[in-house]
Structures are given as C-alpha cells and as structure tokens.
Chain A
Amino acid sequence: MYAFTYHRASGLRQAGNMLAKLDDPKLLAGGQTLLPTMKQRLASPANIIDLNQIEGMSGIELKGRSLTIGAMTRHYEVASSPVVQEAIPALAYLAGLIGDPAVRHRGTIGGSIANNDPNADYPAACLGLGATIITSKRRIAADDFFLGLFETALEPDEIITKVSFPVPKKAGYYKFRNQASRFALVGVFVSKRSSEIRVAVTGAGGNGVFRVTAFEEALKKRFSAKSLDGLTVPADNLASDIHGSAEYRAHLIGVCAKRALDAADK
C-alpha cells in the first residue's frame, strides 16, 4: 500500500463534500475490492472516505411490490434475510454466492454495483430485475447505470444510498464460476414481472453486464427453458481470456440462462 489519509464520514452530506473537495478521494464501503487493489499497489487514492459509520445506510425494507436495500447492507445480510428470501429468493441466493463468508460479512451491495466489475453478481441482479439505483443526487434506472467495464453513470461526487428492486413474479440466477477466482465466468439472472421479461448476463460481456434481448423475446411466449432451445448468443463482443474463449462463454450463456429459468420455477 501507499500512504493515504483516512477520513471517517459521520454523515452522507459530509461524505459528499469530502468526495467533492479532497484530492484523489475514494469511498470505502466493504473494501473487498478496494483494499486488495491498494495492497497490490494498483490503486493509490490519496484520501479514503469511510462510509461504514454513517447511520441509516444499511437495511432491508419491503414496501408493497418494492424491495429496497440500503447501499451499505452486507451480502450476508441480504443472503440471510427472511424478507428477501420471501420476496425475491433469487436475490438472496445470488448474495449467498458472492465470495466466501469473510467477503460476505464485509462486502456491500452499494460497493459492488458502484465498482461494476464485469464478473460481479449484483450488476446481473440489478439489470435482471430492472432495479433503480438511488443516490445522493437522483434515481438512476439499472438500464442506464451500467456503462462499461468498471464504469457506471455515477458522477464523481455522487454516492449510492439505496437500491430498489421491483418484486418479480419469478426470478432465477445461475452462476458458472471461474475455477480460480470463483467470480462468475458467466452468470445469468432472469426475471418475469407482469409483461416485462429480463435476461441479464454478467461475466461474459466484453463491455460488462448486458441484456440478451433475443432471449427475452423468446421467453415472452413462455417463461421456461424450453423457449430457448436452439437459440444461441453470438460470440463477437464477448470477453475472451485464459479462462474461457468467447465461444465457450457464448455457449455457457445459453446453459446458464436455462438453468436460471429452471431455478425460477422452483
């Protein structure tokens, strides 16, 4: 690590001010990406603004057909919450697949989606459910939030405060892990809410999480794995590396989507 100055934000407004005014600042939520990156000297923020002491930034609330999760809510809280397990079980399941117990007890949903790692799970859930990302400044639809690899619509001094998920009729997630990192090599989140059907893919995209509109169309007739028979995703624009070629990822998208649909039925 390089030397840095640590600031403990006592409130959201103060955190925002620090973000705007301090030199080369970075927010610290769970630190599960930021701290290892700093230890490897791949990141060197001059100022760290710790959000962990701010009251009211975590919590899970179901209001009508809307499930809202505070940005600082830890993965294990989402995974083990009876509210989430009841309202959107696929979301609880996804949270329980992130990392390992140590990671899940520190990592946060706000941190995960602000980072937008192309292999992370939450971006697939947000895009796959049509979530709304609520920040210190505005409300951003998931469709407009994830812009590219590690890139989001957030402005430099903008802080995610909550994520709001519409409760679907059915939803499922299937994650095929990279054997080394255990991040998603390909992860597919599917959901059906009245007329809207979403299929969101993480891990495979060359530009981060994306929706497979061809699959969504096919699923309109019937929201089940059989509807995807014979459909393939083109390999161009998919990521290719030592862990999986674009062709393999394209194939896995089909497999994972079907398995997510099977899970959605349970």
Chain B
Amino acid sequence: MSATGIGAAVRRKEDFRFITGKGQYTDDISRPGQTSIYFLRSPHAHARIGKIDTAAAAAMPGVVAVLTGAEFAESKLGSLICGWTVLSKDGSPMKMAPHPALAHGKANHVGDGVAVVIAETLAQAKDAAERIVVDYEVLPAVVDPMKAAARGAPQIHDVAPDNTIYNWHIGDPEATAAAFRNASHVTTLEFVNNRLVPNPMEPRAALAEYDPGTESFTLWNTTQNPHVARLVISAFVGMAPEHKLRVIAPDVGGGFGSKIFIYPEEVVCLWAARKVGRPVKWTADRSEAFLTDAHGRDHVTKAQLALDREGRITGLKVHTTANLGAYMSTFSSAVPTFLYAPLLSGQYAIPHIYCEVDAVYTNTVPVDAYRGAGRPEAAYVVERLVEVAARELNMEPATLRKKNFVRTFPYQTSVASLYDTGDFEASLNKAMKIHDVEGFGRRKREAERRGRLRGLGFSAYIEACGVAPSSLVGQLGAGVGLWESAEIRVNPTGTVELLTGTHQHGQGHETTFAQVVSERLGIPIENVTVVHGDTDKVQFGMGTYGSRSGAVGLSAVVKALDKVENKAKKIAAHLLEAAEGDIVFRDGKFSVTGTDKSVAFADLALQAYVAHKFPTAEIEPGLKEGAFYDPTNFTFPAGCHICEVEIDPATGETQIVAWTAVDDFGTVINPMIVEGQVHGGVAQGVGQALYEHTVYDDRGQLMTGSYMDYAMPRAENLPSLKVDTTVTKCPGNPLGIKGCGEAGAIAAPAAVMNAITDAIGTEKIEMPATPQSVWAAIQSVNNNRRAAE
C-alpha cells in the first residue's frame, strides 16, 4: 500500500478550501442582474386557497414580480413526481397525488409554498410578501399516521381515499402464520420510529438563469444528483428540453438524502427566471428548511418474533404504517418498502417473514430518504426484537444472536435480499472484546454505588446499499436504473481528470477517487482531479446516496481504468516495439517482460496525443475512456455496535459512557474518511434515539421548528468512539467495496434503546428517550414494582 493509494488515510484535498472559506457553495454564486425570491408559505396545515390579492405587494419598493399558484398552473408545467411505482397488494398502483410547485386550490402542510415575490433584495421581497393577502378557508388537519386512514379523517387528496397511498406487502403470510402457531415463544413489540428533520449544515439553495439567446437554462442547486434533477425537471416538469438545461451542483454542505429530491423551489426559480428575464436566487433559512426539507423516518410498527424451544427464530411478522407527509417526494414510496422490508431478516436465518406496510398522507412536511432510508427502521425492528427476546428467554443477547446468525453465503433471505458474504460472528466477537462486555457487570455495580443505572445494548445490523442493480429495481417499480458512470481523461502531459457521475457533499470523493486512480496509474495523487456536479461537463450519472459511490461509482472508475490500461498497452507495444501480450504495466511504467525497455505513464500519454508513433487507423489517437457500471446485487455492510449508558434516575438523563463499533465494509479506500463516516452516522443515530423530536400539534403546526426546540446531538453527548473493522470483501464489484456512509445511523438507534431499556428494566419507552420520558418510565417501573409487592 502506498502512502496515497487504496487503504491510505490520505488527508482530504477538498478540506483546504472548506476550512479556509474558499469553497463555492450555491449561495456564494451571484449572477449579473440577479434578483432574490421569497416564498410565501401556508401558515395552515390544511386549507383551501381562495383569492390571493397581490396588488399591494407588487407596488412595494424593489419588487420585480409577484407570482402565485394560479399563474404556475397556467404555465402548464408538470407536477413534481415520485419516481418509484409501488403497487398495493391488489396490484393497483400507489395513489400519487399531483404536487404542483406552487400550491393551487389547496395548501396541504404548513410551509406549502403558495406565492412568491421576486425583488431586487431579499429584504424587499420579504417586506412585500407580508402585503400579500391570501384568502384561506382553514380545514381540519390530520398529522398522526394512525389517524390518517381512520374513518372521519380529513381527506387530503382526491386520488387517495382514506389518505392511503398503498397497502404493500412482502413475504409469505401463510408460512409465517404457521410458524407463529407452532412457536414456543413469541416476542411482541410496538413502537414508533420517530420523524427526523435532516438539518444538513448548508440549507438548500437554487439560482436559476435563463439565456434567451440560446433558449437555455442554467440552474445552480444544492443537489446530490444534478443529472437526475435535470432529467426530472426537463422530462416530467417540462421546463425545457434536457439538452437546454444545465444543472450545476457546486460545493454542497451535506445532504444526508435531503438534497436528492427535486423540490418546488428550484422549479419555481427556473420558471420565474424565464418569466422575469433575470436570474432568480433562493437560499433557505433554517426555519424554512425545517418546513420544506423532506423529513425522515416516521413509522408506527407492530412486530413479532417467533422462536422455537432452542431459541431459534422461526418467524417474523411486521406491520408498519408509514407517514409520507402531504405529498409523495421523489423516492418516498421505496423507503418504507424496498429499502426496508428486504432487511428484516437482519443477520439471522429467519425462514418465514411477512411484512405489511401501509403508507398514508398527512398534513405534514413530505417524508423521504434520510441517512439510512428504510434500513435504520428495519435494523430497529430486528435488533430490538432480538434483544427483548433474549431477555424474555433469559439468554445472553450475544448467545441468542449466535444461535441464529447466517453462516453460509450466499444466503437467500425470505424477503428477497441475497446476502453475498459476511462473517457476523467475527464482528460480534471483536466488538465484545474491544468493549469489554465481560466487565460490564462490575461496571454496573460500581455505578449503582453512585446511584446511577448502567445498561448495555447490542445492535448487530446489516444493511443493503451500493444502490442498485438496474433491472432488479426496475422490476420493483423504479423509474430509473441505478448504475454509475466514469470517464478518465488523460491529458497530454500525463495528468488526469476523472469525471464521475457521483457527487460529493461531504464524502471526500475528490480524495478517495483520486487515491484509486493514482494507485492504478502509478501517478502522484496531486496529478488527479476529480470532476463532478456539472451536467455540461460530466456524462449522465445517478448521483450520491444509498452509500453507492464506492461500490458503484468506483466500480465504473475501475472499468474505465481497465480500458485506459488496455489502450495504453496497445500504444506501448508500438512505442516499445514488442507484442501487446508482452507489455506489463506496474508502478506507473509500461515495460516489456524480460527486458529493461519501458515507458513511463506520462510519456506514454504524450505519445498518445502526439500520435506519431502508432498506426492511427488501428488505434485512435488520444487517451480517454468512459465506462458505465451496473451492479449485479446490492452490497451488504454489516457489523456490531455496542452502546453502554449510564442513567441518572433522579432526572432521567442518559449519558453514553462507551461506544464500540465493529463494521465490515469490505475494502476500505481511506480509513480516516470511513471512520469519520461511522462517527457521523453514530452521532445521527444517537440524535434520533436521545434528542431529535419532531413534534406537530393537532392543528398541524410544527412545534419544533428551530434549534430552540429541536435538539441536535452535540459533541459532548458522545464519548470517544471505539471504531474497528472486520473485512469480508464484497464479491460483487472489482474493488470489493461494500460502502460505509449510512451504517452508523442504521446501527445506532437500536444500540442506544437496547442499552436504556436494559438499564431501566422496561421496554415501554419510545425514541427519543428524553430525560423526561426515561424518568417517567422509571417511575412506572417503580410503581409496578410497588403494586406487585
């Protein structure tokens, strides 16, 4: 391993500009003649929109235009879409309601955009917006997903009776029912997977410009997938032909999924830019982000585990109600179905599984993928059930798991996933050793002497990422393939541009992708530039989410590198006057086997472009190769996290005193970056478990719309994490990569809640386990104990 190759902890190239304030984020970009746009948003969760009086607003200083949902409707532009068709049990397609970029006729959540003001400055736009008079007829709202499909609930969309989007299922209901009938023990849990607000550090922004000379648009946007945005906005919204719309995602400060989707704001900015003939710029403030960024999770689940006399799991039955919010966001349908249920076997050989998912509309912000996207929800179901089953059966949590691990691969689960490889016991054993699980009893007793309750929780998670094999997801209803593209451009002077269809918004691709290219071509890492994020520069790619950039993105890079090496060898053969089969490429040099004749990569590159010394009728001049890579399967990172907590029973406050993570990510390109991903993922999972509470009142008002009320995890809430790995290389892609970006967020919530419930002795506690709810749970345990005595 070289100092800058695969496996090296290379410092990130991009950090210099990020840390010194030289980054170029969407909000940093200004265009000549630029205007600012401000969205007037519905203050009501559910309301008919009557007359909108814009006269006073239009007359305010600096105002260029005031536009409403009615005018957007007149434009005949298309609706925003959900691109993954999920079918109900009866075969009928999901009930996708129209989602206009500006609400017209009805507003369906607090924050739904109703009108916009375009003005010289943002302050002027805000002032004018306050003068817009909207005639709302307030309607009753429904925010609770369990109430949305109930009789008498307010109907949100005409196309969806009972606010039901789909009733989906997977698995074998009869075989599962039989397993439960014959079970020696059944563990039952009912719980909520709490709604989260994504909160990337950079809020969303869009800057749209229309050039009447070429009749084409440029959109700068904080998107995780510029080509997908371009495709949806051109083909579905109909803003412009695809080749007349350039989308640029410059530096983007975090996405976590929330910047995958195509939102109303960028559509409105494009439409407005053409209408007013000037660039239109929008940047969300944080309050606006809380009301418009797609939220995450929000499942209500009842789950049951069937076990036999020996503690082997014989069946799993799950029913989930998934709250998708007021509109179906771009990937929303797939998150509680195909990204969720296929993971319900966990690390275990569960012969019979049946899962039903009902998705509903409510008058809340739309819900879609958020770090983990369906897999944290699945890991929570499985790992809470398994831990509770162990307690009920008086078995050690590790013992029950070991009894049920999948041990032979490939393993076909009963929920479609085909696990390629893994060694679950290795991760568990390593984690237990690093954590010193053996010493827990002694630490617990010591804590008791100080009046504190200690608990230990396991989370042996598995997830599916490296999204995704195209024809498989196509069969499941996806509207797109999930391959990836790469182009390697070798310059005449031997430096290289790698154009990737992935996108970095914190993942460090400029460094890790360069590591792979630099090692393969034997050139210094400084000579490699990674280009991404501009649809004019880079061939179509699917962007970054679902921990795909390593497994899928780098596989495309390797394919392109293979093509570069092949062509270069052909040229080298001519330069070195040898047979192509005798050419060896190693350490950046092409040489003839058994001789000392060689040519360095840079020299070969120059020759490729000078094209004097090889027959150009047989070998084209130049050295530039592209590749598209379609994965053959998902990848399955897995591991074991152990969380140890100490609870102050007087206040209910939980402190995480130790955390061990042992993950199997297959091949790791940059261990420093991978460790950072684990840290970040664990922090977000801890945020979900202990702090982040998205609260709506029954009128649909978001009560936690700022950091005064929405608690984010902070550095002081986490101990130093012990992070390690085991490795089973992924057999499915050339580098053996599984991916690592979401694992921490997937593993963590179950680990925390297993630890807390261990400490306090009840399972009846929901996330977030705030001090008040932990204290209340302890009181009820004490009350029950007193009643029993």
A residues near B, CB below 8 A?
Answer: 1-3, 40-41, 176, 178-181, 242-245, 248, 251-252, 255
> Would you call B707 and A179 a contact (CB within 8 A)?
no
- Does B614 reach chain A (CB closer than 8 Å)? no
Known: A180-B708, A248-B776. 16 other contacts (CB 8 A): A40-B287, A176-B653, A176-B771, A179-B711, A180-B704, A180-B710, A181-B707, A242-B693, A242-B695, A242-B709, A243-B709, A243-B772, A244-B772, A245-B772, A248-B775, A255-B651
A residues near B703, Cβ cutoff 8 Å: 242
A residues near B711, Cβ cutoff 8 Å: 178-180
Report the minimal beta-carbon distance from A198 to chain B, rounded to whole angstroms.
23
- Does B95 reach chain A (CB closer than 8 Å)? no
A residues near B772, Cβ cutoff 8 Å: 243-245, 248
B residues near A, CB below 8 A?
Answer: 123, 126-127, 287, 650-651, 653, 690-691, 693, 695, 703-704, 707-712, 770-772, 775-776
> Would you call A179 and B691 a contact (CB within 8 A)?
yes
In the complex, A179→B710 CA distance in Å? 8
B residues near A41, Cβ cutoff 8 Å: 126
Give the top 10 A-B pairs by smallest Cβ distance, nearest first: A180-B711, A179-B711, A181-B708, A255-B650, A248-B772, A180-B709, A242-B695, A244-B772, A242-B703, A179-B691
> Would you call A181 and B709 a contact (CB within 8 A)?
yes
Q: Tally of A-B residue pairs with Cβ under 8 A?
A: 41
A residues near B693, Cβ cutoff 8 Å: 242
B residues near A255, Cβ cutoff 8 Å: 650-651
> Would you call A251 and B775 a contact (CB within 8 A)?
yes
B residues near A242, Cβ cutoff 8 Å: 693, 695, 703-704, 709
> Would you call A176 and B709 a contact (CB within 8 A)?
no
A residues near B709, Cβ cutoff 8 Å: 180-181, 242-243
> Would you call B708 and A179 a contact (CB within 8 A)?
no
In the complex, A1→B772 CA distance in Å? 36
Report the minimal beta-carbon distance from B63 to chain A, rounded to whole angstroms.
16
Report the minimal beta-carbon distance from A84 to chain B, rounded to whole angstroms.
25
Interface majority SS (helix, strand, loop, mixed), chain A = loop
Report the minimal beta-carbon distance from B224 to chain A, rounded to whole angstroms.
27
8 Å CB contact of B651 from A1, A2, A176:
A176
B residues near A251, Cβ cutoff 8 Å: 775
In the complex, A245→B775 CA distance in Å? 12
In the complex, A121→B528 CA distance in Å? 55
> Would you call B651 and A180 a contact (CB within 8 A)?
no
A residues near B126, Cβ cutoff 8 Å: 41
In the complex, A242→B772 CA distance in Å? 10
Residue of A nearest to B710 (CB): A180
Report the minimal beta-carbon distance from A103 to chain B, rounded to whole angstroms.
13
Report the minimal beta-carbon distance from B717 to chain A, rounded to whole angstroms.
9
Report the minimal beta-carbon distance from A47 to chain B, rounded to whole angstroms.
18
In the complex, A243→B652 CA distance in Å? 13
8 intermolecular pairs with C-beta atoms under 8 Å apart:
A176-B651, A180-B691, A181-B707, A181-B708, A242-B695, A243-B709, A248-B772, A248-B775
A residues near B650, Cβ cutoff 8 Å: 255
In the complex, A214→B112 CA distance in Å? 51
Report the minimal beta-carbon distance from A119 to chain B, rounded to whole angstroms.
10
Interface-central residue, A178, A179, A181, A244, by most chain B CB under 10 Å: A179
> Would you call B651 and A179 a contact (CB within 8 A)?
no
In the complex, A41→B126 CA distance in Å? 10
B residues near A1, Cβ cutoff 8 Å: 123
> Would you call A179 and B123 a contact (CB within 8 A)?
no
Report the minimal beta-carbon distance from A20 to chain B, rounded to whole angstroms.
29
Report the minimal beta-carbon distance from A257 to chain B, rounded to whole angstroms.
12
Residue of B nearest to A180 (CB): B711
In the complex, A251→B776 CA distance in Å? 11
Report the minimal beta-carbon distance from B530 to chain A, rounded to whole angstroms.
35
> Would you call A179 and B287 a contact (CB within 8 A)?
no
A residues near B775, Cβ cutoff 8 Å: 248, 251
Report the minimal beta-carbon distance from B752 to chain A, rounded to whole angstroms.
14
B residues near A243, Cβ cutoff 8 Å: 709, 772
In the complex, A251→B778 CA distance in Å? 13
In the complex, A212→B707 CA distance in Å? 31
A residues near B707, Cβ cutoff 8 Å: 180-181
In the complex, A258→B341 CA distance in Å? 49
Report the minimal beta-carbon distance from A102 to chain B, rounded to whole angstroms.
14
Residue of B nearest to A251 (CB): B775
A residues near B708, Cβ cutoff 8 Å: 180-181
B residues near A248, Cβ cutoff 8 Å: 772, 775-776
A residues near B691, Cβ cutoff 8 Å: 179-180
Report the minimal beta-carbon distance from A149 to chain B, rounded to whole angstroms.
15
Residue of B nearest to A248 (CB): B772
In the complex, A245→B772 CA distance in Å? 8
Report the minimal beta-carbon distance from A32 to chain B, rounded to whole angstroms.
13
B residues near A3, Cβ cutoff 8 Å: 123
Report the minimal beta-carbon distance from B299 to chain A, rounded to whole angstroms.
21
A residues near B776, Cβ cutoff 8 Å: 248
> Would you call A179 and B695 a contact (CB within 8 A)?
no
In the complex, A1→B707 CA distance in Å? 19
Residue of A nearest to B648 (CB): A255
In the complex, A178→B693 CA distance in Å? 13
Report the minimal beta-carbon distance from B697 to chain A, rounded to whole angstroms.
9
In the complex, A252→B771 CA distance in Å? 11
Report the minimal beta-carbon distance from A144 to chain B, rounded to whole angstroms.
30
A residues near B127, Cβ cutoff 8 Å: 2
Residue of A nearest to B703 (CB): A242
In the complex, A176→B690 CA distance in Å? 16
B residues near A2, Cβ cutoff 8 Å: 127
Residue of A nearest to B779 (CB): A251
In the complex, A178→B703 CA distance in Å? 15
8 Å CB contact of B771 from A40, A179, A180, A181:
A179
In the complex, A3→B287 CA distance in Å? 21
A residues near B712, Cβ cutoff 8 Å: 180
Residue of B nearest to A181 (CB): B708
In the complex, A244→B776 CA distance in Å? 11
A residues near B710, Cβ cutoff 8 Å: 180
In the complex, A252→B709 CA distance in Å? 19
Report the minimal beta-carbon distance from B731 to chain A, rounded to whole angstroms.
44
In the complex, A179→B287 CA distance in Å? 19
Report the minimal beta-carbon distance from A195 to chain B, rounded to whole angstroms.
30
Residue of B nearest to A258 (CB): B650
In the complex, A252→B648 CA distance in Å? 12
Report the minimal beta-carbon distance from A263 to chain B, rounded to whole angstroms.
15
Report the minimal beta-carbon distance from B200 to chain A, rounded to whole angstroms.
18
In the complex, A251→B287 CA distance in Å? 33
Report the minimal beta-carbon distance from B683 to chain A, rounded to whole angstroms.
14
In the complex, A31→B775 CA distance in Å? 36
Residue of B nearest to A244 (CB): B772
Report the minimal beta-carbon distance from B650 to chain A, rounded to whole angstroms.
5
Residue of B nearest to A41 (CB): B126
Interface-central residue, A3, A180, A252, A255, by most chain B CB under 10 Å: A180
Report the minimal beta-carbon distance from A5 to chain B, rounded to whole angstroms.
15
B residues near A176, Cβ cutoff 8 Å: 651, 653, 771
Residue of A nearest to B770 (CB): A179
In the complex, A126→B689 CA distance in Å? 37
Interface-central residue, B127, B707, B709, B772, by most chain A CB under 10 Å: B772
B residues near A178, Cβ cutoff 8 Å: 711
Residue of B nearest to A259 (CB): B650
Residue of A nearest to B126 (CB): A41
Interface-central residue, B126, B707, B712, B771, by most chain A CB under 10 Å: B771
In the complex, A181→B706 CA distance in Å? 9
A residues near B771, Cβ cutoff 8 Å: 176, 179
Report the minimal beta-carbon distance from A46 to chain B, rounded to whole angstroms.
15
Report the minimal beta-carbon distance from A117 to chain B, rounded to whole angstroms.
11
In the complex, A180→B651 CA distance in Å? 16
Report the minimal beta-carbon distance from B177 to chain A, rounded to whole angstroms.
40
